[in-house]
Structure 1
Amino acid sequence: MRGKGWDIPKKRNKTTGELEDGNVIYVLGTVDGKFYRKSTGKEATKLNIAWIKKNAREVLLKLINKQNTKVEKTSLEEYGLKVIEATARGRSISTQKEKKGYFNNHILPYFKSKGFTYIEDIKTTEIEMWQNHMLDNKSSSTAKKCKDTFALIMDKAAADDIINKNYVKLAYSFTVTTEKRVPYTPGEVTTLIKESEGWFKVFLYLIFSTGVRTGEALGLMWDDIDFNNGFIDLKRSITKSRVTTKEGNTSTEDFIQNGYKIVENNNTNKTKNHTRLIPLDDTTKNILMEYYQERTQDEWIFVSKNNTCFSDSKTVNKYYWKPLLFKTKIEDKDLYTSRHTYVTIMKNNGADEAWLKSVGGWTQSSKVLNDVYFTHESSKKDIKLANNFFHIVNEKEDKKPC
């Protein structure tokens, strides 16, 4: 009989020479790169077997110590980072950075502050205390991502015989609750577009009327726009100085230097579809056509002061979006909420959910439309305004006094 970290070896009958079932429990495992197998001297009764199943690792360490063998514990910091690096293959660079962030910012500091610097010392109760701390101070979504990262590390520690079991998986489970976003009302959208200027006005028209992600809008190139048929052939997104396409992702600098292509196929994106067709309403199409006539380059649609693409939405948010909100006295629900606003308005006006998911880049099985977006129920007046707000914006612009 054998389990994880323990064994009841067979013994040879001195008279017959045949192997027979043994009755002494042994513990075994690797410590500091060296494999040990030690007898506990305990009889293999049901009670002792149940006990060793829970305590095999601790018993092995005690037996080694009794023989004056120095046992060095495993640093949580060193081992945790090692596991994250060792399992990086298959993750995008941004996801790998997030994994490190969860560990360095939310896992390691807490346990260090409580005096737990070694993996062997962290048990279920301490993990549940940490979990409580996360849920008290962060969203349940962030807490879950951190717990998953910690569970990965402890899984590897158990596989490497550092600990007897993954204590993270024994901690109580909790439900991730998604806080619903409150979209902008049609009236707020009208004000934001009216009070914006230059390229940013075109940008707002686009994101509010199509529901594209902010990074997808920043990644648009003029070749992606089919003015004749009135749609966008979406092919990429730009986030955190990296371009993502269906082929993979790379830095914006390398993307440009390689002729606006991904040279190495390394696609690790499994959740977001950045490749799809998006219809353009007539107002947005005409505004894009006018903007095209004034373009400063033939590649990127939206360019920075350096006449190249924006590498991240942070610049747009800081220097264009925030000042506009201050000017209009409209609550900051963040720029990404333009996407939620589009879907809310469209659904409240009877748009088919399957169509919305296709245009928005979600899988048909996704429940995101029900779980996240719809918190603003439009009145009849709002619905009428939603159906015509681009027309109203143009009408008001035309009636401006000269």
Structure 2
Amino acid sequence: MVSIYKRGSRLYLQYTVNGKRKQKSTGLDDTPANRKYLRERVIPELERRIESGALAEEARRDEIPKALSHYAAKYLESKEHLKTYWELLQMVKRVEAEFKSTDVDKITRGMVRDWAMGLLKTISPTTTRKYVNVLGGILEMAKDYEAIQVNPATGIKLPGKTAPTRNRTPFSTEEVALILESAAGWFRNYLAVAFYTGARPGEILAIKPEDIDLKRRVIRIERNIRHGKVTTPKTAYSVRSVPILDPLLPYLRGQLMQAGEWLFESPRGGHYNGARKVMYHWQNLMERLGIEYRDLYTTRHTFITHMLMSGELSVLELAQIVGHKNAQQIMQSYARFINEQHLKISREIDPFNKKATDKVADTLG
């Protein structure tokens, strides 16, 4: 089964594993003593491992791809159906750039944690966790294909918030008025839709004229644009009808007069590929007005917060307008912005009003 042959002055062993012929150098010179040593000590052990299948298993494992890019491709293939595929693709590219020279079976938990700690210096803990999860997904794919036995990215603990959070403090009434007065053309109309509906940037860009019913005073939100692709909104609850409030009407009518297939059309025709173009105008406007910078998404937070403070509708109604799953989601996200509103209530309220008490008593009576 195992034979000895000579190449130059060195001894080699020849044998077959998984139907493939193997030739391995022993590193020994061709002498009678070395040949005897191989026959009596090395070859018996090698034949035992061949017969038991241990050598075949080792050979099989050696043939399994170890490059992280191999499993990154498989991971992406499994995510092609997701709306977030483009975002995942960018994250995978960053992961590959970090670990491209390291085989998956050489990646350790310490390496993963050090990488994550480095990310925390420039991005938020939430985003860092997303990157760790993407790496974990790739390595889990490698585990499924038996390239590794244990996923080193599983259970990595990260510290709390170490990066500054984005300022999304709602704009004041005065700031909203100043922003709308200072913007012009389609951009002012866009901002009016944003401030008076609380719709997300991609949802606004995906509105078509036929989605607007001025007679019923309703806008139908059923699409979203992200990275140039028209998809459905963020969640099932995000498909909704939004009431057109009085202050929005003139802006909406003005935009409808210049609309094409889309309410907000790119200068080159068709829809915008995403909010990047809007962000360019937004950043310039914030700088020109000297208003403390908040990102474009803050228009949504501003609408929700001011509607909560107005008391004109229930939290559940507001959740339905902005496409949240339930009222709890609204309160968890925005209650911090309406502190001390309870102190503004009328002091004339009497919870034990005699008329109210008598009415209840009569009902029970």
Q: TM-score, normalised by structure 2?
A: 0.69
| Equivalent residue, structure 2, for 1:344 | 305
Out of 96, 111, 124, the residue aligned to residue 139 of structure 1 is 124
The number of residues matched between the two structures is 288
170-179 or 348-357, larger mean C-alpha shift:
170-179
8 Å Cα contact 2:61-2:147 kept in structure 1:
no
Correspondence for 2:91 among 72, 83, 102: 102
Q: Matched residues in 1 for 2:210 and 2:82: separation?
A: 30
Structure 2: how far apart are the matches of 1:161 and 1:366?
Answer: 43
Deviations 1:281-301 (A, max 9, x none): 112123323443xx2345322
The one of 298, 313, 319 equivalent to 2:275 is: 313
- Which residue is 1:233 aligned to? 220
Instruction: Determine if contact 1:224/1:234 at 8 Å carries over to the other structure.
Output: yes
- Contact 1:304 1:310 (C-alpha < 8 Å) held by counterparts: yes
Q: CA deviation at 1:213?
A: 0.8
1:220 equivalent in structure 2: 207
Q: Shift in Å at residue 88 of structure 1?
A: 2.5
Aligned mate of 1:209, from 182, 196, 209? 196
Distance 1:170 1:204 in 2: 43
Which structure ranks higher in relative contact order (CA pairs < 8 Å, sequence separation ≥ 6)?
Answer: 1
Match of 2:141, SS?
A: helix
Which structure has greater helix proportion? 2
Q: Which amino acid aligns with 1:82?
A: A
Measured at CA, do residues 189 and 74 of structure 1 come closer, stay the same or move farther in structure 2, by a change above 3 Å? same
Contact 1:221–1:301, Cα closer than 8 Å, also in 2: yes
- Give the structure 1 partner of residue 99 of structure 2: 111
The DSSP-based 3-state class of the residue aligned with 2:121 is: helix
- State the alpha-carbon separation in 1 of the partners of residues 194 and 57 from structure 2: 68
Who is 1:289 aligned against? 253
1:203 CA displacement = 1.6
Q: Is this contact kept in 2: 1:300–1:308, CA < 8 A?
A: yes
Shift in alpha-carbon separation, 1:337–1:87, aligned structure 2, 3 A = same
> 1:42 maps to which residue?
none
**1:328 positional shift:** 1.3
Matched residue, 2:294? 333
Q: Cα–Cα, structure 1 residues 117 and 74, in superposed 2: closer, same or farther, change >3 Å? A: farther
Provide the rounded CA distance (Å) in 1 between the counterparts of 2:86 and 2:57: 43
Q: CA deviation at 1:371?
A: 4.1
Q: Is 1:297–1:307's contact at 8 Å kept on the other side of the alignment?
A: no
Q: Which runs of 5+ in 2 are unaligned?
A: 1-17, 21-53, 345-365
Is 1:280 the counterpart of 2:232? The answer is no
Separation (CA, whole Å) in 2 of partners of 1:175 and 1:233: 39
Residue number among 66, 71, 76 corresponding to 2:62 in the alignment: 71
| 1:379 Cα deviation from its structure 2 partner | 8.3
Kindly tell me: are residues 71 and 301 of structure 1, through their superposed partners in 2, closer, same or farther at Cα, counting changes over 3 Å? Answer: closer
1:126 aligns with 2:111: yes
- Mapped partners of 2:243, 2:128: distance in 1: 38
Aligned to 2:285: 324
Once the two structures are superposed, what CA deviation does each residue of 1:229-286 show, in whole Å capped at 9, x if it has no partner?
211122212222111137xxxxxxxxxxxxxxxxxxxxxx6x3644211011112123
Are 1:199 and 2:186 matched, yes or no? Answer: yes
- Quick one: structure 1 residues 80 and 100, their matched pair in 2 at CA, closer, same or farther if it must change by over 3 Å? farther
Give per-residue Cα distances to partners, 1:310-364, cap 9 Å, x unaligned.
Answer: 222111221x222322321112211111001101111122342211211111112
3-state SS of paired residue (1:183): coil
- Between the two proteins, what is the percent identity of the paired residues? 24
Contact 1:209-1:284 within 8 A present in 2 as well:
yes
Q: Distance in 2 between matches of 1:70 and 1:376?
A: 57
Between structure 1 and structure 2, the one with the greater Rg is 2
The question of 1:303 aligning with 2:303 is answered no
Deviations along 1:37-86, one digit per CA (max 9) or x if unpaired, are xxxxxxxxxxxxxxxxxxxxxxxxxx649989993674443223222233
CA apart distance, 1:214: 1.1
SS of aligned partner of 1:228: coil
TM-score (norm 1): 0.63
Counterpart CA distance in 2 for 1:69 and 1:187 is: 70
User: Matched residues in 2 for 1:288 and 1:209: separation?
Assistant: 11
1:221 to 1:117, Cα distance in 2 relative to 1, 3 A: same
Counterpart for residue 264 of structure 1: none
Unaligned runs of 5+ in 1: 1-31, 35-62, 247-268, 384-402
1:85 match: 76
CA distance in 2: counterparts of 1:224 and 1:162, whole angstroms: 51
Distance in structure 2 (CA, Å) of the matches to 1:187 and 1:125: 51
Residues 172 and 332 from structure 1, CA distance in 2 versus in 1: closer, same or farther, beyond 3 angstroms? closer
Rounded to whole Å, the distance in 2 between the matches of 1:325 and 1:215 is 20
